[in-house]
Structures are given as structure tokens and as C-alpha cells.
Amino acid sequence: MVPFSVNNRTAIITGSTRGIGEATARRLAEANASVVVSGRAAEDGKRVADSIRADGGEAVFVRADMREPDDIESLVKAAVDEFGGLDILVNNAGYETETSPEEVDIETWNGIVETDFRAYWLTAKHAYPYLVESDFAAVVNMSSNHSFATQPKKFPYNAVKAGIDGMTRSMAVAWGVDGIRVNSVNPGWTMVGRIEESLTDEELSELERIHPLGRIGTPKDVADAVLYLASDMASFVTGECHVVDGGRTAVLQDDLYLDDHGLE
């Protein structure tokens, strides 16, 4: 088996105190990267970093609020000071609201745009001088399948995720000459804590029925995609959107799909 190694590389994973970010930090550490766990919740972040170290990996926690530009700059500096350089940046921090365009107020708009979008650019901007020095530089931006198809009450999360895919292409084109690869990962339904808490058994069963692979994703499914894009196995992949949704985005119409398979 060919290993997806990121041995002796340093990775920052924003928003990695839980969920997909935590799974990604653990997955990269398992593949021998030194990881910088980051987020606002210090207790959770320290728990993740301590757990990674207990399993034999290298990890530190650096508290950072991604709405604060000074915190972002300090996060990158702390990673370089701790491990001597930077090779991998995973922009993952973000949140969503159940709002439609006419419902969103300016505070909600600013919060999501600053956390889910501006922070991706700003973290990459501060990471750039160190990534240029790496022989293995990779940026992975966490997007969503909502950038392709969406729901009425996912604004402005869906707009921002489409913007992230555009940002990914822009960075890939601008920084390819520097040897920096930039890609997006676009998860679909993923069993993170808030989803697990909100779904009834009946709702989960219905979601599983409308996914071609018969289930929704796990944080590890997404983390595996990040590891691939961060590793040498993807050395000629840049500017791409990597959908991880069990085939959900490929379904044109649920009732026809279910009828064709006799699942109605």
C-alpha cells in the first residue's frame, strides 16, 4: 500500500477543536505531521492536542479567534516558532445559520463573511512567506457542496462557500509558480456533533436513502480527503474542488432516483 505520508511537515488546522477540524488534525498527526490545533475554545483545543500527543503524535494548541486579524497573524507566527516552518494550511474554521437572504442582518452577515471567508484569505496571506520556503506547500480550504447546490435557508453560508472555491482557484493560479498547491474540499452531509444532536432516527434513515452510497459522511471521510490533497499523492493537483458527499450532489431528483432503485 502506498502511504499518504506528510512526514516531518508542519500543519495548521483552523477550527480544529471539534468536528471535521479535529478529525483532520488527528489524521494529519497519524501521517506524521506536526499539527497546530486552533480555535476559540481553549479547553477543547488543549484536549485535542493532549490526546494527539498521548497517541504519539506532535501537537500544540494555539488559541485564535478567526474574526480577529491579530489572532490570525499570531497563530501563524506561533506555528513557525514552535516547529521551525510551515508546510500545510487547512482553512477549516466556520459556521452557518438557518437564514434566507431577506432574513439576514448585518451582524450575521459580517460574522460569517469574516470567519468563513476573510479569515481563509488572511491566514493564507500570513502563511504565504513560510509556504514559499517549503518543498511540500499545500493549502486546503474547507468549502461545501452548498457551493454547487443549496437550500433556501443557508444564506450567506452558501454564498461564502462558493466564494471559497473561487478563492481557491485564484490562489492556485497566483501561487503555483511558487510551488504552492491550493485545493478545496467540499463535504456534504457529515455526522458532526450538531448534526447528530439534531437528527431523529427517521430523518437519518431518509438521508441515508437519498445518498447513493447509502449513508452520510463521517469527519474521518473528510479528513482523509484533506490528507490526500496535502500529501505528495496529489502533487499535480491544484485549483480543484474535491467533493466528499457520498454521491449526493450527483442526484438530479430524489423521487426518480429512489423509484429507479425501488426504494420508494
Pick the catalytic residue: 120, 128, 130, 157?
157
Hunting for cell 437528527 — which residue is that?
A: 199
- Other residues' Cβ atoms within 10 Å of the Cβ of residue 206: 13
157 classed as catalytic: yes
- Residue 10 · residue 138 · CB < 8 Å: no
**DSSP class per residue in 24-46:** HHHHHHHTT-EEEEEES-HHHHH
SS3 state of residue 197: helix
- Residue 212 · residue 246 · CB < 8 Å: yes
Upper half-sphere CA count for residue 15 (Cβ side, 13 Å): 18
List the one residue out of 181, 179, 222, 218 whose CA is nearest residue 196: 218
List the one residue out of 17, 109, 124, 131 whose CA is nearest residue 64: 17
Catalytic residues: 157
